[in-house]
Amino acid sequence: MEEPKKNSTASNQFDKWHGVDRNTIDWHPVIDEDKCIGCGMCATTCGRGVYKFDYKKRKSVVAEPNHCLVGCQTCANLCPVGAISFVQNPQTTREKAQNIIVKTGVFANVTKELESKKDQLATNVDEGAHE
């Protein structure tokens, strides 16, 4: 399996995850080249630019691993041959994601973000209707 490069080439909007330095979080896809059929589903579906496509080898490549949203597994879920994984041990992807949340202490940051985005995230439902 090809390990992705760890550092992105430029500073960008994905450098932090809820205020936590993304380089400190071990969450990125790994492609098993032996399983990969080169369909390009991952490269064309990922909206965060994690993948590039090697047209000579006809295989996707993890080019920007830290652009991957922590907890996202869309590419792995859509891969028709199961060539993409996020864990290299018996731990499940859910367990890995939950451990990252605990290890980083991200909940305090998320609580602050939620309050700062109240105007964006509030539903249009009357607050008194749920009492």
**Domain locations along the chain:** 16-119
Render pLDDT for 103-125 as a digit per residue (tens, 0 to 9): 999 988 999 999 999 999 999 76
Render pLDDT for 47-69 as a digit per residue (tens, 0 to 9): 999 999 999 999 999 999 999 99
Task: Kindly write down the DSSP assignment for every residue of 5-41, as one continuous string.
Answer: PSS-SS--TTSEETTEEGGG-----EE-TTT-----H
* Residues near 34 by beta carbon (within 8 Å), at least 6 away in sequence: none
CATH number of 16-119: 3.30.70.20
Say how far apart CA 113 and CA 121 lie, in whole Å: 10
Q: What is the pTM of this model?
A: 0.77
